[in-house]
Structure 1
Amino acid sequence: MLPVSVRRAAATVDAKTPASRDRALDGLRAVALLSVPLGHWLLGGFTLSDGVLHNASPLAALPFMAPLSWVLQMLGVFFLVGGRASALSLRRSAERGVSASAWLRGRVLRLARPVLGVAAVWAALIPVLRALGVPADTVRTGAVLMVQPLWYIAMYLVLTALTPLCVRFGAAAKGWASAGLLAAVAAVDLLRYGPWGGSMPGWLSLLNLLPGWLFAYQLGVDWAHGRISRAGAWLTAAGGAVLFAVLLLVFHYPASMVGVPGAARTNSHPPSLLVLALASVQGGAAMLLKDRLGRALRRPLLWLPVVVVNLGAMTIFCWHQTAMFLTALAGSRLGTVPGLTAVPDSGLWALARLAWLPVFAVVLALIGRWARRFDAPWPSRLWRALAAAGAALFAVYALGAV
């Protein structure tokens, strides 16, 4: 039985939610967002050598964990929801007479404030850690972890800026714009991995960067404008599932959706056709389940955690790696700790890591209570100047560390 205070809070939040609020979209966003820390916490690890923490991946020694990445890599849903939300927001702004540039400026500020905040804090944290005796290589390990998820924000900003073009592209293609993007990625993959792949320049893979991540975003834009029917959603999901199976079983794409140290090929940097196949499955399923999810979230006790996650979305995204690193840093004082600083090379490590997930979550919640101030408009120009200067200093450090 839940405490009365929780039930009362749920009822209050439910009553204050406008009837026009798209609860399903918020629910999908919350699920996609929570998959980011969960994926990093489960599929990332550390080793401890001579008192220094190094990043390590359990996927290198535990390939049976690769299918977990199919569930935990939910960028397809993340960008799908982002495309739909941005397209609807842009249309509402235009109806109010707000220019596209003003709309974009508001979106950029909402995303940039938390990123500048975490970078500025890390700029101050680095000398503090060094003064406390933390080895330089350990500090570098933490900085690399912190930077890893931020490139998604950079890509999301690019896609957001392209929203007006995506709307026009979708209208011209009559709902088939994402199919064109998928074909473009397939063509690049054919050049990369075909019989002549060995003679292709290394930079060729970068051509997949924009169409690869734009695929699900464009799907969301077209969904917002009613260009994808229920039959189209079924085709998106089923077609993606068939393509996913063919790429794995016939063309032997790497099974992991995230990079594996030492592997010759990766699906994620930049995205391969397998990433788009998974995004297609996820996107089609999300579109098909939207109405059912919306009805379920009419229940106050289900709606409350969705609201909490969405309110702290950028805090969770920006600080979850820091929470894991600080926990491991504290644990390293005890030596090799199973599931934390021990080599991630056994099933016992995986079981121990599950036990650490609640600890990471508590540390993140404690950080979040303070760090959420970076999400809201900053109180003064001095704040903005200090944050910008700190972020710039950290960027210089990160360029050498990553």
Structure 2
Amino acid sequence: MRRLRQLAARTPAGRERYVDLLRALAIVMVVLGHWAVAAIGEDPTGRPTARSALPDLPWAYPLTWVAQVMPVFFLVGGYANAASLTARRAAGGDAVSWLLGRGARLLRPTTALLLVIAAGSAVASLAGVGATLVRTVAWFATIPLWFLAAYLVVVPLTPAMYALHRRFGLLVPLTLAVLVAAGDLGRALGPAELALPNYLFGWLAVHQLGFAWRDAHAEPPGRPDAPVRRGVRAHRLPLSRRAGGTALLGGLAATVLLTAGPYPVAMLNVPGERLDNAAPPSLALLTLTTAQLGLILLLRDPAERWLRRSRPWQAVIAVNAVVLTVFLWHLTAAILLVGALDAAGELPTPPVGSAAWLAWRVPWVLMLTVVLAALVAVFGPVEARTGPTGRARDRRRADGGGAPAQGPEPTGRPRDAGQPRDAGQPAGPGWRGTARAAVTAAGFAAVVYALVVNAETPKSAPEPLGVPASALAAYLAGAGALRLLRSGWGSRG
């Protein structure tokens, strides 16, 4: 608690605390949503099984408009990425060192999850558990990694996409939305693979809106009669209540029209539906994102006032310190609880939608919270190492030891108004900087490849390590290369 009070007291006055609150709320809602719709049953052999209850709950489809909060995470990710990239450049760093620092926060807790799953799967396989069952359990535990794969594609594109944003402003997400609509048309007419680029275009569009929000906060408008630098208004997100109300009502109206037509109502995956609005992102998901953004803007001022109080802000800091750990391990918590209850002969399997099933939601979520809290207590420190002290150390190493230590990751105005280094300028000698950038790109590509291979491998595949061996090797190679670069390898002569 003392540490939290110190961090809260040192928070810069210009920090947009609301962004941190939204990140925490988004992940908590994802966790609670997954837990709430879990339908636990038994296969013909008596083994526990799990699936989504949504196909049996059509009345709940409109509720997914609130439960689908991945766009919120990409929105605040765009804000935070733009802010931290700007601050890094202002301090004399380059895009590669910034990217290595961002990767550390994402990959350390992910590596811990994958290594634990692989080790546990190896032990189970040696103990005689079938490779298919091992893969099934590991498949459920690694479901959260599909989102991380998408985010790890978007983050390395931030320097280039932010440059486009500074040049063309809100035209960039609008163009990306048109491309998403074209992908949806291809998905409708076939083949479905024509919509695969929407995984990139859709999430990039939301990420770009985060850039516009950050610019509106970092460059607040002055007096109504003050001169406005050319192009500034074009890349700002309007933050007024009027703008929020317009986005909310317009986004809702568009979403209603689209879901009354070719798009399904549910914004989460429902097995058997004609298409999935979120995988890949559809135009309907983007119109819903517009509505969510409008609501976010309407609540911004009262939320910021509330977060000026010490205790709420300390709670937000505490959650954000382990937010990725919470997300990565929440389905593992469900697996452990189901296994424990089944072993004790106390696993309830009421029919989905029944009164007993609905009543079981409360103790189910409470018990899962306890199990997840224990997992976070064990693995949270891995993510916490990338807090203010850890990030400062990584920045010094990634910059070759010459960059000054920075404070907490910025989400507000940059501290230094100095001239930023160009995003493409490497640190150190030209060839060494180019090689460093190439290895960084290859490292991220290997990690994304590994996560995609794992997601695409069927849950019934015989995998004694739980995760496909090729995917695990690619991930460790990519993450290891990025770790070497963060330690300063390739930055010194």
Please indicate the TM-score interval, normalised by the length of the shorter structure.
0.7 to 0.9
Tell me how far apart the structure 2 counterparts of residues 327 and 133 of structure 1 sit (CA, whole Å): 22
Matched with 2:433 is: none
CA contact (8 A) 2:187 2:193 kept: no
Matches within 5 A, 1:251-262: 251-262=261-272
Matched with 1:384 is: none
1:359 to 355, 367, 381: 367
Matched with 2:333 is: 323
Matches within 5 A, 1:104-183: 104-130=99-125, 137-183=132-178
Tell me how far apart the structure 2 counterparts of residues 187 and 281 of structure 1 sit (CA, whole Å): 21
Larger deviation: 126-135 or 136-145? 126-135
Could you tell me how far 1:232 is from its partner in structure 2?
A: 4.6
1:326 counterpart letter in structure 2: L
Matched with 1:382 is: none
2:179 to 176, 184, 204: 184
Could you tell me how far 1:92 is from its partner in structure 2?
A: 0.7
Could you tell me how far 1:365 is from its partner in structure 2?
A: 0.7
Matches within 5 A, 1:3-402: 14-49=8-43, 50-130=45-125, 137-193=132-188, 197=189, 200-226=190-216, 227-229=236-238, 230=240, 232-249=243-260, 251-335=261-345, 337-338=347-348, 341-375=349-383, 376=385, 395-396=467-468
Tell me how far apart the structure 2 counterparts of residues 333 and 398 of structure 1 sit (CA, whole Å): 33
Deviations 1:173-203 (A, max 9, x none): 232322222121122223333xxx2xx2121
> Are residues 9 and 120 of structure 1, via their aligned partners in 2, closer, same or farther at CA, if it must alter by over 3 Å?
closer
Could you tell me how far 1:304 is from its partner in structure 2?
A: 2.5
Could you tell me how far 1:348 is from its partner in structure 2?
A: 2.8
Tell me how far apart the structure 2 counterparts of residues 11 and 155 of structure 1 sit (CA, whole Å): 34
Larger deviation: 26-35 or 143-152? 143-152
Deviations 1:333-387 (A, max 9, x none): 245733xx445353431331232111111101101111123222699xxxxxxxx
Identity of aligned residues (%): 37
Tell me how far apart the structure 2 counterparts of residues 89 and 57 of structure 1 sit (CA, whole Å): 37
> Are residues 67 and 27 of structure 1, via their aligned partners in 2, closer, same or farther at CA, if it must alter by over 3 Å?
same
Unaligned runs of 5+ in 1: 1-5, 380-387
Report SS of the residue matched to 2:468: helix
Larger deviation: 343-352 or 356-365? 343-352
> Are residues 397 and 323 of structure 1, via their aligned partners in 2, closer, same or farther at CA, if it must alter by over 3 Å?
farther
2:166 counterpart letter in structure 1: A
Give the root-mean-square deviation of aligned CA atoms.
2.8
2:204 counterpart letter in structure 1: L
Deviations 1:25-51 (A, max 9, x none): 111111111111111111223221223
> Are residues 347 and 191 of structure 1, via their aligned partners in 2, closer, same or farther at CA, if it must alter by over 3 Å?
farther
CA contact (8 A) 2:186 2:192 kept: no
> Are residues 317 and 150 of structure 1, via their aligned partners in 2, closer, same or farther at CA, if it must alter by over 3 Å?
same
Deviations 1:71-101 (A, max 9, x none): 1211111110000110011111110010011
> Are residues 105 and 74 of structure 1, via their aligned partners in 2, closer, same or farther at CA, if it must alter by over 3 Å?
same
How many residues are paired up? Answer: 377
Tell me how far apart the structure 2 counterparts of residues 106 and 12 of structure 1 sit (CA, whole Å): 23
Tell me how far apart the structure 1 counterparts of residues 125 and 67 of structure 2 sit (CA, whole Å): 34
Could you tell me how far 1:302 is from its partner in structure 2?
A: 1.8
1:92 counterpart letter in structure 2: A
Deviations 1:277-320 (A, max 9, x none): 22111123223322321111112222222111101111101111
Q: Which has the higher helix share?
A: 1
Tell me how far apart the structure 2 counterparts of residues 37 and 138 of structure 1 sit (CA, whole Å): 24
Could you tell me how far 1:130 is from its partner in structure 2?
A: 4.8
Could you tell me how far 1:272 is from its partner in structure 2?
A: 1.5
Tell me how far apart the structure 1 counterparts of residues 57 and 192 of structure 2 sit (CA, whole Å): 28
CA contact (8 A) 1:46 1:343 kept: no
Report SS of the residue matched to 2:267: coil
**Greater C-alpha radius of gyration:** 2
